[in-house]
Amino acid sequence: MQRVLIVGLGLIGGSIGLALRRWSEERKVDGRKPLEVVGFDPNLDHQRAAEKLGAVDKGAWDLSKAARESDVVVLATPVKAMRDVMEDLVPHLRPGTIVLDTGSTKAQVLKWANEVFPREVHFVGSHPMAGKTQSIEGADADLFVGATWCVSPSVTASEDAVRTVLGLIAAAGAEPFFIDAEEHDAFVAGVSHVPFVLSAALMNAVARDASWRDMKTLTAGGFRDTTRLAAGSPAMHRDIVLTNRDAVTRWIDAVVDTLGELRQIIASNDENAASALDAYFNEARDARAVWATQTTREGELLQGTAAELQTESVSDHMGRMFLGGFAKRLRTPPTRDAAPPRSDR
């Protein structure tokens, strides 16, 4: 039986634990499972919640002892905490131990790993491209199913270590994607880190306005969807942007440039403003349509956009716009067995 130690039992660590335990349970032979999942978190509430949820077979109250007894160690802590955790672990790791992380930035984490771990410890950088704004309470065994899981092995990681990590990724239902650490950071800054920054910026911009008290009563789906990321962990995102400064600032500059372009069009009295706005918004819509219709090798939509791509008639669309679809419900005759409408609304 292999022992996997998960250090950090938030959303990602808890979900990994749930996924690995389910996989192990399904492969039990004569009552013996191939994996034992042990969890440690300095936040005792998180550790107890993970045990209660079944995200780990048992909690570890002594990190050094748990490290000595583990074959694989998963670092699912905030990025800025990883170097300290590595230094705490390194005296207790056996030669041949495999360590992987789940951090949202890779270049800095790999640099720390190369400085801290001896060659006998095999470090594999990784990053599952999945998440929510919740912590351990939102842990889900299916969180990684169909998701891309970036893999950036250190130069000293053995082939066996990489294969083991790929096996864990497969057990979680994700698709591995090998990528250079620097390239990873440049890419995810644009598609993951800056979206949070923009969400937080919009939330702060409107919430600081004197009219916010009245304005917030008018908010609806567009505002909710755009600011959802701002509800995420401030500490986690602080660590992400501080360990990926160059790429994040480059993408912020790119967004500022495109906003400046859009602002200039809107503010102008040019007779061509309408056509320029059409072109701008059409370009964005078409680019998103291409993104939204990407498929996996099995033909499934890669980005989980099936609901927004469902076709509907013009009348259905108008009904949805009118009072949230209430008009459509009014047109639908009740069935004979339907309950009478409530009169207390």
What pLDDT does 252 receive? Answer: 97
What pLDDT does 194 receive? Answer: 96
What pLDDT does 98 receive? Answer: 98
What pLDDT does 86 receive? Answer: 97
What pLDDT does 202 receive? Answer: 97
What one-character-per-residue DSSP string does 320-343 give? HHGGGGHHHHHHSPPPTTSPPPPS
Q: Domains, the chain, ranges and CATH?
A: 2-179 (3.40.50.720), 184-272 (1.10.3660.10)
Angle at 222 between CA 217 and CA 226, to 5 degrees: 105
Query: Average pLDDT over the chain, rounded to whole?
Result: 88
Q: For residue 343, which amino acid is it?
A: S
What pLDDT does 309 receive? Answer: 67
What pLDDT does 270 receive? Answer: 85
What pLDDT does 138 receive? Answer: 87
What pLDDT does 38 receive? Answer: 97
What pLDDT does 332 receive? Answer: 45
Residue 88: Cβ within 10 Å count: 14
The pTM for the full model equals 0.80
Q: Which residues of the chain have pLDDT under 70?
A: 133, 296-298, 302-303, 308-345
CB 119 within 8 A of CB 147: no
**Cα–Cα distance, 127 to 345 (Å, whole number):** 49
Q: Nearest Cα to 234, choosing from 196, 269, 285?
A: 196
Beta-ladder partners of 127: 150
**Cα–Cα distance, 321 to 132 (Å, whole number):** 28
Angle at 175 between CA 170 and CA 181, to 5 degrees: 110
What pLDDT does 310 receive? Answer: 66
Query: What b-and-e string marks burial along 29-45, b requiring 16 or more CB atoms within 10 Å of the CB?
Result: eeeebebbbbbbbeeee
